[in-house]
Amino acid sequence: MSTNPERAVSYVLNKSVTEYMDKDVLILSQNTLTREAARMLRHYETDDIIVTDEDRVPVGIVTDEDILSKVSDVTVYAEATKLKDIMTTPLVTINEKSTLQDALHKMRDNSIRKLPVLSKKNEVIGMVFQTTIANVIRDATASEPRLLSPPVKAVLGNLGFVLQFAGVLLLVPAIVSTILEDTLTATGIYLTTVLLLVTGFFLNSYGEKSSL
C-alpha cells in the first residue's frame, strides 16, 4: 500500500513539464560567432544556448562550458568559430504535453540534466531542469500530506451540517412523544437524533463547511 509521500511524489511527477519549465531561454542561430554568444550569455545571465538552423528549427545546444573548453581547442580559428562548430547535437528535447516523469526518464536515458521543451510547432518554449524536478519531489515529500481534497472536504462538511440540523429538528417530535407518553416512539426518535448529531459532528471534524 502506498504511503502519503509516495502518492504526493506520484502526483507531482504526473504534472506537465510546462508548469515547471524555465521560459527564459536564449535561442541563437547556428551561424552566431562564439564571441557574440559568450557576450549574450553574460548579458542574459544564463548558462545555455539553444541553437537553431536557418529555418529556426532547434538543432543543438551550447553551454558556457562548451564555449570555454571547445573554443580553446581551435584557437587558430577562434575569431571565426560559430556555434554550429561547437554545439552538442543531435538535440534531445521533450514536447509540451509530457510529464515530469517523462522528462526524468529521458534525462536518465540520455545522461543529461536539462531538456528543451518544444511546442506543437516544434518551437522552443522553455527548458526543464533536473534540479527543478528534484526540488519539486523534495517539496512534495516534505509537505504535510493532504488526505482529503478541498471538494471532498466541502461535501463532508456540508453533509455534517445537514445531519446535525436534521437531528435538532427531530427533537420536537421526540419531546411531543415524551409528553404523550409514547415511550417506544420517543425512544426511537431520540436514538435517531443522537445518531444524526454524532454523525454530523464526525463529518464536520473531517470536512469544512462551504456554500451550498
Statement: residue 199 has pLDDT above 50: yes
Instruction: Look up residue 4 and give its three cell numbers.
Output: 502519503
> What confidence tier does 207 reach under pLDDT thresholds 50, 70, 90?
low
User: Whole-angstrom distance between the N-terminal and C-terminal Cα of the chain?
Assistant: 35
**pLDDT higher than threshold 80 for residue 71:** no
Task: Enumerate the β-bridge partners of residue 27.
Answer: 50
DSSP state of 2: -
The pLDDT, as a whole number, for residue 76 is 43
Q: What value does the mean pLDDT take over residues 74-82?
A: 66
- Spell out a b/e string for 122-148, using b for 16 or more CB atoms within 10 Å of the CB, else e: eebbbbbbeebbeebbeebeeeeeeee
Q: Return the higher-pLDDT residue of 12 and 76.
A: 12
From the DSSP assignment, how many helices (H) and strands (E) are in the chain?
8, 6
As a whole number, mean pLDDT of residues 43-62 equals 95
Distances (CA, A) of 95 to 79, 106, 118, 135, 148: 36, 11, 5, 21, 32
Model pLDDT, residue 181: 75
Query: In Å, how far are 92, 200, 204, 207 from 151, measured between CA atoms?
Result: 40, 17, 14, 9
Lowest mean pLDDT among 81-85, 140-144, 150-154, 157-161: 150-154
Calpha distance 124→88 (Å, rounded)? 16
Cβ atoms of residues 22 and 44 within 8 Å: no
The SS3 call for residue 127 is strand
| 119-132 average pLDDT score | 95
Four-point Cα dihedral 63, 67, 72, 75, nearest 10: 150
